[in-house]
Amino acid sequence: MRPFYTTPGPLTSPGRHEALFAGLPSGIGALSEVVQGLLVHEFLTQQYGFELSDERRATVHVRPVEQMLDRIVAEDDRPLTCAREPDARFVGDCRHFTVLAVAMLRAQGTPARARCGFGSYFGSGMFDDHWVCEYWNDEADRWVLADAQLDETQRRLFGIDFDPLDIPRDRFVVAGQAWARCRSGEADPASFGLSVVQKGGDWWIAANVVRDVAALNNMEMLPWDGWGAIPKPNEAIGDDDLALFDRLAALTRDPDFPRSQLTEMYEGDERLRVPDTVFNAILERTENIA
């Protein structure tokens, strides 16, 4: 399974910018610092001393790493190891921090993948929609969760009391685990969503299950992309789809999941497989994925 996650996917390939990765430091810790010097989260710009214009915010809709790097080097053509001033960084969200870290790790031969789920460490009282990197740690002989977004500013802001490069799995819950916990009655679906919009529920969890399945098949979509089996907001989930999400959750909740079974399901079911165009729910339009 691990060799699959050393190969760039359509959205994690640096493409024409491959040479930019040659001079990067090695390891998740150093690479996270590089990523943090290149990106800023759209919801946190005030913490870095500037207001975000609508024009700058538009980059949150960029999907491929290659296009992210286009914007980064067009703004500042210095090596990626040179941290940009916060107001000159690429504006993204947790998914952008994650896919850039994944792309860099893969370029160094480290198995890595994006995980879609929910983080409990943002001080909201909810499990907030979030993406992190999951990479193979040879020394520990296990898959490890790492949050490349949590720089020193954010660690202070959110009172982070754990190692962001080895997140406890009760602090970041992958989507399949969240679904299983709610289906068993262990957790309330309303506690999983996005606190800044005060929304959540089983439909939100189900959507992230599908996005996580796509990411595990090297298709790391935007958090608001919709296709196939992804429910619409507040949509009731029928019995057939409940059974589908139960099966997907069972396959993906453990980091050592059976990838061949998951890939067979993903590739064989058009409800799961990412099509050429998806619905961008924020912009309310259909878009090509690249």
Mean pLDDT of 188-207: 96
Looking at the chain, the whole-number percentage of residues with pLDDT higher than 90 is 97
Summarize pLDDT for 41-56 with one digit per residue, the tens: 999 999 999 999 989 9
pLDDT mean over 143-171: 98
The answer on pLDDT for 189 being more than 80 is yes
Question: Quick check: 76 pLDDT over 90?
Answer: yes
Q: Report the pLDDT value the prediction gives residue 202, as an integer from 0 to 100.
A: 97
Q: What is the pLDDT of residues 129-149, one digit of tens each?
A: 999 999 999 999 999 999 999
Q: What percent of the chain has pLDDT over 70?
A: 100
Mean pLDDT, the chain, whole residue set: 97
Q: What is the total count of domains within the chain?
A: 1
In sequence order, what DSSP letters do the residues of the chain get, joined into one string? -GGGGGS--TTT--GGGGGGGTTPPPSHHHHHHHHHTTEEETT-GGGGT-PPPHHHHGGGG---HHHHHHHHHHH--S-TTSPPPGGGSEEE-HHHHHHHHHHHHHHTT--EEEEEEEES-SSSSSEEEEEEEEEEETTTTEEEEE-TT--HHHHHHHT--S-TTS--TTTEEEHHHHHHHHHTTSS-GGGEEEGGGTEESHHHHHHHHHHHHHHHTT----TTEE-TTPPPTTPPPPHHHHHHHHHHHHHHSSTT--HHHHHHHHHH-TTTS--SEEEETTTTEEEE--
pTM (two decimals): 0.97
Reported as a single tens digit per residue, the pLDDT across 113-126 is 999 999 999 999 99
211-220 mean pLDDT: 98
Residue-level pLDDT at 1: 65
Domain span at residue 276 reads: 2-288
